[in-house]
Structures are given as C-alpha cells and as structure tokens.
Amino acid sequence: KTYKVAIMGATGAVGQQMKVQLEKRNFPAGEILFLASSRSAGQEIEFKGKTYIVQEAVPESFEGVDIALFSAGGSISEKFAPEAVKRGAVVIDNTSAFRMDPEVPLVVPEVNKKDMRLHNGIISNPNCSTIQMVCALQPLKEQFGLSKVVVSTYQAVSGAGIGAINELKDQAADFDNAKQADASVLPVKSADKHYPIAFNAIPQIDVFADNGYTLEEMKMINETKKIMHDDKLSVAATCVRLPVVTGHSESVYVELEGAPSVEEVKQAIAEAAGVELMDDPSQQLYPMPLMAEGLDEVFVGRIRQDPDNPQGFHLWVVSDNLVKGAALNSVQIAESLIEEKIV
Ligand code: A2P
Ligand code: 11C
C-alpha cells in the first residue's frame, strides 16, 4: 500500500530535510505534494529521480492527502492543519501551534509512541532541543528514576530557518566588522532588536515570556513533562544561540532517584533506541555538531557523576536539529502511523 503525502513548507530548512528523509527511508509515498507560499510556487524539487513543482498551499491542496507533514510556522499550521484534517489527512505538525493542547499527542517514537493512538487528526512533533534531550533522558528515567533536569543549550542557527543560516554566512565573511554586522533575523525576526550571531553567543531563542524565561526555554520545560508523562519532573532550561550552522548541543544535568555508577549510566545510554554513546576522554571522543550533521542519532558523551551528589550526573547531548530534531522524528511518526495501522 502507498500513501499520498504532502510537505507544507517544502522549501524551508526543515521541509527540505523532510523530503530527504522520505527518500532515504524509502517511505511508501505513492504521491507527493510540495507546498509553500506563493513566493516559491513554481520552483522545482527533485524527489526519487522525478521533478515536482512547488505549489502554493490552499485548503483544497489537501484533498485526498493521507499524511501531511507541516513545517511552515505556527500561524500557517493554525490556518491549514484543520483544513487538512477536515479533508481526511493526518497532520504531523512540526510547529508549536498545538503541542500543549491536551487533545493533541506530542510524540517522540522512542519515548511515547503509544500516545499517537489518541490523536484527533493532528500529532505534534516536539521542539528540536526537547526531542534530543528526552531521547537521552528516557533510558535514565526507566532504569534509575528521574527527578530533576537542568539544561543549557548551544543551538545552531538552522533552527531559526534558512534566513538565519544566510545571515550567519554573510556575517562570518567579514571578521573585521563583526560588531557592526547587519542583523535582521536573530534572535527573533519579529523582535525590536537584532544582534549579530557570527563570533557571538545570544542568550535568547524566541521571545520572552512574562516569567523571564524565553519561549524556547518554556518549550523545553513543558514539552518534556508532557512527553515523559511526568508533571512532577523538575526542569529548568537556559537556551543560547551559537554561530553553528546545524546541530544543537546541550549540557544536561540530571538528578536520578537512584545512585548508579557512571558505568551503569553509560550502559543505559548505550542501549537506548536512537541514542549513541560517544564517550572516551582518553581518545578525546565526545560528540560535536559538525560531526553530527546529517546523521540520525542523538549522541551522548562527557558523562560524569556530580562530585558532591551521587545521584547527580552531567551529560553532553548533540544531535542534528533538522534531522532527529525535526524531519526524521516527523517521518518516524508517519512510519509508526502505518505500523500501528492508524492510517
Ligand atoms: P516560501 O519558500 O514560499 O517562503 P524556513 O523555516 O526555513 O524559513 O522555511 C519556512 C517554510 O514555510 C518555507 O517553505 C516557506 O515557503 C513556508 N511558508 C512561509 N509562509 C507560508 C505560507 N503563507 N503558506 C505556505 N508556506 C509558507
Ligand atoms: C530553534 N528550537 O532552534 C528552535 C526552532 O518550536 O519548532 C524550532 C521551533 C519550534 O530556533
């Protein structure tokens, strides 16, 4: 059996990667539609050796679509996802539009695949920085119990879309004028002030909430609790943008309910689905975004026990934010829908 698939936001950083993942995993797409705004309607996209034309998305685009992968921004999802559902599609939405809606499952297949079954037409794909963190946390929770998480992120510009990648490339070409570089995308396109990202670190991703946290930080806090089904889990986050093109890195501190040895923690990480242990200080082996680019796995290294607390551990977690953080996770949800006979 094959399925009619639509990619909404097909020309974007995540949309392009969705196409790559569908091809790479040989997803049973009998028909495929590449949708974007009128700005890029008419562009050509190659898929499995055939040329397709990007179409401007309208509600009728979703007629007959079985699975729609959305990554064109929250307001576009709010407008078009209900239209797609009305026409019989299951929407896998990679924006924050519906993630915290109690009626909408928020899924990382390695962690909470079965939540998918409760969908009402929309399944949300979590934020990229949340996905890679929960993949590393889940085996620790299962084996040792998890009570507290404190995370600091080192996030790549591709998380903010193609405009942010271009901005970094332009600014990085002019080292001597780094401080005066033109900036209009980061930290947030709609914000009053913009700062250069080349040769910089910006402790703001998304806009600020009233409590002083940014929305990116609140996503990591709220989404983690929802995916792990644990409202009592204590989570705090500080999210920082770095001049890295692709691949988010995270320094994650966890407090466990038990006090395992470092070796036991490493073993749990090594055995976890979708996660690869990369941790050997004697060989200077640890994950970095440049090596993770284009790869499927969540890489974990630098695992250390807190010298002052046998239940505390530090981990360094790296993954390609466009792959497992977005497109791959969405395609895995689509594959799970087929496996579980939900579509
Ligand atoms: P377009 O190329 O027409 O602007 P990124 O996150 O990399 O900036 O990508 C955003 C994606 O969302 C692009 O594919 C973009 O298409 C798409 N998009 C933006 N606005 C709309 C819209 N109004 N309708 C459909 N797609 C949109
Ligand atoms: C970033 N994590 O790196 C953001 C991008 O809610 O899906 C993803 C925003 C989202 O900028």
Cα 329 from Cα 318, distance rounded (Å): 15
Burial class, 297, CB count within 10 angstroms (exposed 0-12 / middle 13-18 / buried 19+): buried
Cα 169 from Cα 320, distance rounded (Å): 18
The answer to whether the CB of 210 falls within 8 A of the CB of 217 is no
Pocket test for ligand 2, best of 216, 218, 238 (most atoms within 8 A of CB): 216
Residue 73 has what pLDDT? Answer: 96
Q: Is 159 in the pocket of ligand 1 (CB under 6 A)?
A: no
Residue 213 has what pLDDT? Answer: 98
- Return the amino acid letter for 49: G
Active-site residue (options: 128, 194, 229, 314): 128
Q: Is 160 in the pocket of ligand 2 (CB under 6 A)?
A: yes
The answer to whether the CB of 113 falls within 8 A of the CB of 92 is no
Instruction: Report which secondary-structure segment, H or E, holds 77.
Output: helix 74-86
Of the candidates 258, 320, 296, the one whose C-alpha atom is nearest the C-alpha of residue 110 is 296
Residue 52 has what pLDDT? Answer: 98
Neighbouring residues of 340: CB distance < 8 A, sequence distance ≥ 6: 113, 116, 117
Of the bound ligands, which one is closest to the alpha carbon of residue 325? 2
Q: Is 187 in the pocket of ligand 1 (CB under 6 A)?
A: no
CA of 65: how far to CAs of 126, 186, 217, in Å? 23, 35, 34
Of the bound ligands, which one is closest to the alpha carbon of residue 206? 2
Answering whether pTM is above 0.90, one says: yes
The answer to whether the CB of 22 falls within 8 A of the CB of 4 is no
- Is 128 an annotated catalytic residue? yes
Neighbouring residues of 92: CB distance < 8 A, sequence distance ≥ 6: 67, 68, 69, 70, 123, 124, 125, 330, 333, 334
Q: Is 129 in the pocket of ligand 2 (CB under 6 A)?
A: yes
Per-residue pLDDT tens listing for the chain (343 residues): 999 999 999 999 999 999 999 999 999 999 999 999 999 999 999 999 999 999 999 999 999 999 999 999 999 999 999 999 999 999 999 999 999 999 999 999 999 999 999 999 999 999 999 999 999 999 999 999 999 999 999 999 999 999 999 999 999 999 999 999 999 999 999 999 999 999 999 999 999 999 999 999 999 999 999 999 999 999 999 999 999 999 999 999 999 999 999 999 999 999 999 999 999 999 999 999 999 999 999 999 999 999 999 999 999 999 999 999 999 999 999 999 999 999 9
Residue 264 has what pLDDT? Answer: 98
CB atoms within 10 A of CB 122: 24
